[in-house]
């Protein structure tokens, strides 16, 4: 197996950061239950877009795209669910 190139490592770091970045938002949202400053429109559009990225990766059999997007969808979806549950209350 070849060593990954510097560019591969850069892409991996980028993917890990953008996906893992949602973890502290999920923790904060689940702890506080507060979503007043979070845009419903953003999270509906974002989750739809991430679902389309996942489908795109599946259709291309591009598994890194799938692997990066499935956890993002789970994390962003959690925030969206809390936001939807809070509607009418904030």
- Where along the sequence are the contacts to a copy of itself (CB under 8 A)? 7, 10-11, 13-25, 27-29, 32, 34-39, 41-46, 48-50, 52-53, 55-56, 59-60
Q: Are 22 and 76 in contact (CB under 8 A)?
A: yes
- 25 vs 74 by CB, closer to a copy of itself: 25
Q: Give the nearest distance from C-beta 1 to a copy of itself in angstroms.
A: 21
Q: Give the nearest distance from C-beta 85 to a copy of itself in angstroms.
A: 14
Q: Give the nearest distance from C-beta 74 to a copy of itself in angstroms.
A: 15
3-state percent helix, strand, coil for the chain, nearest multiple of 5 = 80, 0, 20
What's the CA gap between 75 and 27, in Å, rounded? 10
């Amino acid at each position: 197996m070849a060593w990954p190139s510097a560019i591969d490592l850069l892409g991996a770091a980028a993917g890990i950061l953008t996906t893992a970045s949602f973890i502290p938002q999920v923790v904060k949202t689940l702890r506080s239950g507060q979503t007043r400053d979070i845009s419903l429109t953003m999270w509906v559009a974002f989750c739809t877009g991430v679902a389309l990225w996942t489908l795109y990766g599946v259709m291309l059999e591009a598994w890194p795209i799938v692997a990066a997007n499935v956890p993002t969808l789970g994390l962003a979806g959690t925030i969206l669910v809390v936001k939807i549950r809070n509607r009418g209350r904030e």
